[in-house]
Structure 1
Amino acid sequence: MEFLNHFRNGLVEGEDRDCFEKFLSPHVSMLYKSAIRMCGNPNDAQDLVQETLFCALKSFHQINDPEKSKYWMFSILRNLFLKDIEKTKKRAEIEFDSVCDKLTDRKHPEGDFLRAEVKSNLQEVLGKLDERLKIALVQFYFEGLSYKEISESLNIPIGTVMSRIARAKVYLKRELLRSESMRLEISKYIGDEE
């Protein structure tokens, strides 16, 4: 990640650079992946990660447990993202190639069409999803974080994390099943459990 090298090179030798290398640098890859899923494009994601790193370095003295810097940095990332959403009223688009690949069968010629339709429908539905629900859902399914890790990163109780994920899933299923082709495609994978 070239932007990371620019950031690192901009640091003066000493306390900031040591702090960055020891506590922040190991988590940049995770932050970047999360930022891409939140922002929907690499340029905005890089900007968000750089701003997160800058804020983390500036406020590192406030962290109680440096070993939990991963969750602390994710909280900064999330807060900056939400602040940007509030300012610009811009909705995030999330790339769902991995989900689309699971929902369509590449052996059939209609697979590309269905995959494009699934992706389009998912992006549209997720664009309408409340940001708090979307963030919990993304962290759980795309980042692979546990309920406890999400709870720590969002600074909310585990029960709230579970509730947000469950509500997001119900919303997604309901909205996606409104489309006949989506209903047929999704039913292959989730069955008729209504």
Structure 2
Amino acid sequence: MPPGQSCLRFVEKRMPFMSDDRTNLRTAMPEQGGPVDDLVRRAQNGDAAASETIFAEHWGICLRVARRMTGSDADAEDVVQEAYVKAIMNFQRFDHRCAFRTWLLRIVTNAATDHLRRRRRKTMLLDFSSWFSGGPLENAEPSRSDDPSLPLQNAELRVRLDQALGELSQTTRGAFVLYAEAGMTYQEVSEALEIPLGTVMSRIHSARKKLRSIIEALDDETPAGGPRQVPVSPETLGTNDPIRHILPNTGNGPLSHNLTW
């Protein structure tokens, strides 16, 4: 299939669409019936250029979702490449019952979940092997390095938040990441994960509650004789940073509409 071959070459090259820009995704990608849907139909009809364009335009958001799911830049790239191969191989089966972005992010989320399961099994095997040989137990999970593209000014806060996301269950994390990072509505998350709307709301609420408590604890940390080292405020964050979805609602400024629960 020419479109598939073209996209596979694109995935292998991983050229200019690897950038982690922070586009406002709630408005950047049209839904069904718009330009994206037209591109998808052209791609399914054999237009190789349309096929490469549609997958290239979604690379950034897929990478960000995978990054939030796995906590690792390298793992995120592996996950997205794996997801793209699956999506390309099943592209003709996409039936337009949901938005293309929803369909694609469902595949990315599933690929990330599978990756986390494999990583957990590998960690358990390495720990068991170390214990059996009499060596020290070590955490085989990759470290969560500072990602300079994320609009948080404090590296410690970024690492702690990534760790907090890692403490959520895979199902809760998946729902929250699609909502906060991908800018999906509750209904879109429901379609992407194929779960009831009420379940989506419950998972996002649970994620917010846990992550918010961690942020508030960090915000209260004050070293002896000095100012707190991890300030958390609207000024600390970029306009589209997903962490804005879990900050305490002050009733002032752009954060208010994010916390209407």
| TM-score, length basis structure 1 | 0.69
Deviations 1:45-74 (A, max 9, x none): 222222111111212232221872221111
**Does the 8 A contact of 1:23 with 1:66 survive in 2?**
no
Match of 1:157 in 2: 196
Match of 2:119 among 85, 88, 96: 88
The equivalent of 1:32 in structure 2 is: 63
What is the match of residue 6 of structure 1? 13
1:79 aligns with 110
Does residue 170 (structure 1) correspond to residue 170 (structure 2)? The answer is no
The 3 A distance-change label for structure 1 pair 16 and 49 is: farther
Q: Do structure 1's residue 181 and structure 2's residue 212 form an aligned pair?
A: no
Q: Is the 8 A contact 2:11 2:84 kept in 1?
A: no
TM-score using structure 2 length: 0.53
Residue 197 of structure 2 is aligned to residue 139 of structure 1: no
Give the number of aligned pairs.
172
Give the whole-Å Cα distance in 2 for the aligned partners of 1:97 and 1:38.
15
Determine which of 121, 128, 152 is the counterpart of 2:167: 128
Bigger CA radius of gyration: 2
Distance 1:37 1:16, change over 3 A: farther
**Residue 168 of structure 1: how far off its partner (Å):** 0.7
Q: For the residues of structure 2 that align with 1:187 and 1:178, how far apart are their CA atoms?
A: 13
1:190 aligned partner, one-letter code: P
Deviation for aligned residue 1:15 = 4.0
Question: What percentage of residue pairs aligned between the two structures are identical?
Answer: 26
Q: Deviations over 1:51-106 (max 9, x none)?
A: 111111212232221872221111111111111111221668595943x44xxxxx
- Check whether the contact 2:65–2:109 (CA below 8 A) recurs between aligned residues: no
Q: Distance in 1 between matches of 2:111 and 2:12?
A: 22
1:70 matched to 2:110? The reply is: no
Does the 8 A contact of 2:65 with 2:182 survive in 1? yes
| SS of structure 2 residue aligned to 1:72 | helix
**1:54 alignment partner, one of 60, 63, 85:** 85
Q: Which runs of 5+ in 2 are unaligned?
A: 1-8, 16-44, 124-140, 223-227, 235-246, 251-261
Structure 1 position 30, deviation (Å) = 1.9
Residues 147, 161 of structure 1: 8 Å contact kept: yes
1:37 to 1:178, Cα distance in 2 relative to 1, 3 A = closer
**SS of residue paired to 2:213:** helix
